[in-house]
Homo-oligomer: A and B are copies of this chain.
């Protein structure tokens, strides 16, 4: 069996733009599909990801009780339009799947403009953008249109057609697990229910797939579980089906909005100071990335469920510009132009650096705790004295030795010293080689 590639080798050869171009192509392939929290569009999207990583499709039947919720009927849609008196399609689902309120019931009606307008949604402030609206749990129908479309509608009778079905079926989610040296797990979750919206969340879906593909080829300490779930109901269904196994989750991240050009944003887990929270903060700080770190709040993405008090899992959210904070959010302007290959590649690179820290963080024990060991005679330290500054590598060894008393992890030492985690980890490895250090426990 061939020796596996190491994580640090992947990072040392990282090319954000090249990786990002691959991600952008995958987003472009997924973009036209009409996803929802159930249905064929969702299945088709997950099957497309299977070309990159062998994820499984899991089907949860309509009517299944998942905690306080019930799996709804499956929604599928073939076509939808509004025709004016002259038979012209003034709104057409074929042009953008955002035109239909997601989960609209089937409709075949004629009505006047006034009545029709009660079912139309637009964004007056951005008159060329189509809003994204859903109505999963209340039976209704509607169309989302640009403000310009709305304003051009004349008085008269309209023919309205939504060729959708709401019928017993399944909710589908994707899952992929990599077995590491231990059963302790890292959970990576992304919502996969949004139709033609690129940043939210084709960016997260594709980055998760590519991360999974990369990690399945490197030796790992943790096991990694990737889930592509419809927002809210999908995460709840996954938790309901995997409740017994959630105790293994040591760290977790929700991925979303990772393709725009904004700086990174990390939203802490409900615990606030979990290892994942500290690892991400440390990875973002070296080099400093102009990022923001936000405290947990109980709205946002599926961290709402993972961090509900009955689970309280150590799951944070990695984003660039957060949901609701960019004007294109939940509109047709969250398109292929909004997401950038370089940004996508950089996001994936950051995730690899986070994984490296999770994998390599450990508590070590100094085997020579009384005074410093003589590093010089082991070739680990300069022999000329009197210099003003020490190389970072030597300082890293002194930090690791001094604080490896059994109560400080390498992450603790990185935080305290402001040295780069990778440099500290290499120092620890060198000291371990010389039997000056050993892993605790």
Q: How far is the CA of A377 from the CA of B295 in the complex (A)?
A: 29
Across-interface contacts of A371 in B (CB, < 8 A) = 66-69, 235-236, 239-240, 305, 308, 310-311
Given contacts A304-B372, A310-B369, A374-B68, contact A299 B386 (CB under 8 A): no
Looking at the assembled complex, report how far the CB atom of A32 sits from the nearest CB atom of chain B, in whole angstroms: 19
Residue from B102, B137, B236, B385 in contact with A134 in the complex, judged by beta carbons closer than 8 Å: B385
One digit per residue, 1 when the CB lies within 8 angstroms of any chain B CB and 0 when it does not, for chain A 132-166 equals: 11111110100000000000000000000000000
Contact A135 B402 (CB under 8 A): no
Residue from B133, B385, B405 in contact with A384 in the complex, judged by beta carbons closer than 8 Å: B133
Across-interface contacts of A137 in B (CB, < 8 A) = 374, 376-377, 383
Residue from B138, B304, B329, B402 in contact with A298 in the complex, judged by beta carbons closer than 8 Å: B402
The stretch from A23-31, A107-115, A218-226, A387-395 touching chain B is: A387-395
Q: Within residues 303 to 350 of chain A, which ones have a CB less than 8 A from any CB in chain B?
A: 304-305, 307-312, 324, 329-330
Contact B384 A134 (CB under 8 A): yes
Contact B402 A307 (CB under 8 A): yes
Q: How far is the CA of A136 from the CA of B309 in the complex (A)?
A: 60
Q: Within residues 183 to 208 of chain A, which ones have a CB less than 8 A from any CB in chain B?
A: none
- Is A269 an interface residue when CB atoms closer than 8 A count as contact? no
Contact B299 A398 (CB under 8 A): yes
Q: How far is the CA of A370 from the CA of B313 in the complex (A)?
A: 11
Contact B383 A135 (CB under 8 A): yes
Q: How far is the CA of A369 from the CA of B298 in the complex (A)?
A: 13
Residue of B whose beta carbon sits closest to that of A270: B402
Across-interface contacts of A311 in B (CB, < 8 A) = 370-371
Contact A398 B304 (CB under 8 A): yes
Contact A135 B309 (CB under 8 A): no
- Is A266 an interface residue when CB atoms closer than 8 A count as contact? no
Residue from B312, B329, B370, B376 in contact with A239 in the complex, judged by beta carbons closer than 8 Å: B370
Given contacts A307-B402, A398-B299, A404-B309, contact A370 B243 (CB under 8 A): yes
One digit per residue, 1 when the CB lies within 8 angstroms of any chain B CB and 0 when it does not, for chain A 234-266 equals: 011001100100000000000000000000000
Contact A324 B388 (CB under 8 A): yes
- Is A401 an interface residue when CB atoms closer than 8 A count as contact? yes
Show 20 A/B contacts (Cβ-Cβ < 8 Å), sorted by A. Answer: A66-B371, A69-B374, A102-B385, A133-B384, A133-B385, A135-B383, A138-B376, A138-B384, A140-B383, A236-B372, A270-B402, A297-B417, A298-B398, A299-B395, A304-B402, A305-B372, A307-B402, A308-B371, A309-B401, A310-B369
What 7 new A-B contacts, CB under 8 Å, besides A68-B368, A137-B383? Answer: A67-B371, A68-B372, A68-B374, A135-B385, A239-B371, A243-B370, A309-B366
